Amino acid sequence: MRYLRSSSAVVLALASAFAQEPVSFQQHIRPILTRQCQACHQPASKQSDLLLTTFAGFKTGGTKGAAFVAGDPGQSLVIAYLTGASKPQMPFGGRPLPDEQIDLFRRWIKAGAKDDSPAETETVDLSKPTVYRAPPVITALAISPDGKLIAVSGYREVLLHEEGRGLAARLPGLSDRIHSLSFSPDGKTLAAVGGSPARFGEVQIWDVASRKQRKSTVLTNDTLFGGSFSPDGTRIVLGGADKSVRLFDAVTGKEIRKIDHHEDWVFGAAFGIDGKRLVTVSRDRAAKLTDANTGMFLENVNLLKEGLNAVVRHPRKDWVLIGGEERIPYLYMMDRPRAMRIADDSTLIRKFEKQDGPILALAISPDAKLVAVGSAVGNVNVYSAETGDAVGKCTGHRGGIYAVQFHPDGQRLVTAGFDGLVRSYDLSGKLLAEFVPVPVERAVVSQR
């Protein structure tokens, strides 16, 4: 990925171009495409199936054909659309380009339409660890099944902390953000799911013992969310900003299936007890039950009310706890005891107290007796799963709570979120410990 760092470069480029120097794609054409065209011809909208964010996309063209014919401006679609010879004139709905700029396109095509853009490389240097001036927002955390390790999201990395001993390893990766962390049931594998906003999504599979990345799969144009392992540890399910749900092989990192039942971003996913079915939640308001082996849609688990952000499964039953913008956590059965009717809510087991903000994180204790709820505002609240009564309140957070998990020992609760601190509480809500998971370098001051 490249970043156009300076608009003055455009001006200089144009000025020099008028002196009849050779026209460069990188120097002259690309800045115009960026400013004038890519708002509509980008992965998210892709009008006429034309992608103008890369040279390859420009060359391939869209539904109307190749955008240019090297050496022949007269036969090139891009010239016809820019001059208005073909309708609608581009840029669509905007002012036509000045003649000098259209002329740059003509001259570049005439001279052979060469691609002089540098090779697509990621600017992240994985050998240099991120330097933090402030603790980053924590978007995900996971505790290993043996309770000895806690994995926490950082910026472009995952941090592994050892119980009682502090930072044990830094696991740098491509993605700016890690939205979900999960250990395999045997504790040997760590899946990190995330990406860089509006750029790409990534699934990272780490070997916990060696701290080595076993596999990185980059896919889609935006971040991925809500990764979780199948009970047998062989597969990972996750959701994406592209509205898809995807299943991955946990060993090879290969995609097994893409499922497209949701109509908006998918924020959470979980397997059923036997690993044969999935529940996924989305901003489209639905918690959808899907057959994991065929990808077939089975039914909606919930009544559609408001967008959903989180889902977690009961440790021993096919029950799911879901929550989102409505601020109310719902505990549902995955299975329907009788044939579905219109507006049927017979699978609802329990509704919990309404939270102060949209629900962002949910957890169920290992003995299934407690549930914990983290929201955009306020505290992490703990409830009895059986009665719905409030039993604890974990206070002290500043800003939203994005990750909540019970410790495998069943005695503690770990939380993290906007304020960049990891906190651990006992089950009544008493704070036991808190720490900043990243090394913060205070001496660095902004250069700007």
Partner 1 sequence: MKPLFAISLCAVAAAQEQVSFVRDVMPILNKAGCTSGPCHGAAKGKNGFKLSLRGYDPEFDYHALIHDMSGRRFNRADAARSLMLLKPTQQLPHGGGTRIEIDSPYYKTILRWIEQGAEFGDPVSAQVTKLDIVPSEVTLPKPGGKQQFKVTAHFADNATRDVTKEALYSSNTPVIAEINDTGELESVRKGEAAVLVRYEGRLAVVNVTVLPERQGFERVAFPENNYVDKHIAAKLEKVKLQPSELAGDAEFLRRLSYDLTGLPPTVEETRAFLADRTETRAKRSKMIDKLMAKPEFVNHWSVKWGDLLQVNRNRLGDKGMWAFREWIRETIATNKPYDKMVRELITSRGSTFQNPPANYFRFTRDPKLAMETTTQLFLGVRMVCAQCHDHPFEKWTQNQYFQLTAFFGGVGIKDGMDANEEIVFEKREDFEIKHPKDGRVMPPKFLFGGEKLTPREAELRQSLAEWLTSRDNELFAKAMANRMWSYFFGRGIIEPVDDIRASNPPSNPLLLDALTKDFLDHNFDLRHLMRTIVNSRTYQLSFRTNEWNAEDEINFSHAQPRRLSAEELFDGIYLATGSHPFLRDVPKLFRAQQFPDSTVGLGGFLDVFGRPERQTSCECERRSDVSLVQALNLLNGSTIADAIADEEGRIAKLVLGGANDRKIVEDLYLAALNRPPEPREMDLAQTYLAGGLNRAERAQDLLWALLNSNAFLFNR
Nearer to partner 1, 296 or 444 (CB): 444
Report in angstroms how near the CB of residue 226 gets to partner 1 at its nearest.
12
Report in angstroms how near the CB of residue 408 gets to partner 1 at its nearest.
24
- CA 366 centroid distance within chain: 27
Report in angstroms how near the CB of residue 51 gets to partner 1 at its nearest.
10
Cis peptide before 91 (omega within 30 of 0): yes
Q: In the complex, which residues of this chain contact partner 1 (CB under 8 A)?
A: 3-7, 34-35, 38-40, 42-45, 53, 130, 132-137, 139, 154-156, 176-177, 179, 197-199, 223, 264-265, 267, 283, 360, 376, 398-400, 402, 417-420, 440, 442, 445-446, 448
For the record, the structure tokens of 175 come out as: 């993605």
Report in angstroms how near the CB of residue 199 gets to partner 1 at its nearest.
6
How far apart are the C-alpha atoms of 271 and 291, rounded to whole Å?
10
CB 278 within 8 A of CB 290: yes
Give the β-pairing of 319-324 and 308-313: antiparallel
Strands lying side by side in the sheet with 308-313: 308-313, 319-324, 330-333, 348-351
Nearer to partner 1, 157 or 347 (CB): 157
How far apart are the C-alpha atoms of 149 and 106, rounded to whole Å?
60
How far apart are the C-alpha atoms of 304 and 306, rounded to whole Å?
6
To which residue do tokens 């007890």 refer?
273
Nearer to partner 1, 91 or 187 (CB): 91
Give the residue among 4, 30, 1, 35 at the shortest CA–CA distance from 17: 30
Nearer to partner 1, 199 or 412 (CB): 199
Report in angstroms how near the CB of residue 138 gets to partner 1 at its nearest.
8
Nearer to partner 1, 28 or 179 (CB): 179
Nearer to partner 1, 71 or 399 (CB): 399
Report in angstroms how near the CB of residue 155 gets to partner 1 at its nearest.
4
To which residue do tokens 């853009």 refer?
117
Report in angstroms how near the CB of residue 134 gets to partner 1 at its nearest.
5
Give the residue among 319, 328, 380 at the shortest CA–CA distance from 141: 380
Nearer to partner 1, 30 or 161 (CB): 30
To which residue do tokens 């001259």 refer?
107
Q: Is 223 helix (H, G, I), strand (E, B) or coil?
A: coil
To which residue do tokens 């455009």 refer?
10
DSSP 321-349: EEEETT---EEEESS-SS---TT--TTEE
Give the residue among 207, 203, 234 at the shortest CA–CA distance from 217: 203
Nearer to partner 1, 289 or 310 (CB): 310
Give the residue among 443, 444, 386, 397 at the shortest CA–CA distance from 423: 397
Report in angstroms how near the CB of residue 160 gets to partner 1 at its nearest.
18
Nearer to partner 1, 139 or 347 (CB): 139
Report in angstroms how near the CB of residue 42 gets to partner 1 at its nearest.
3
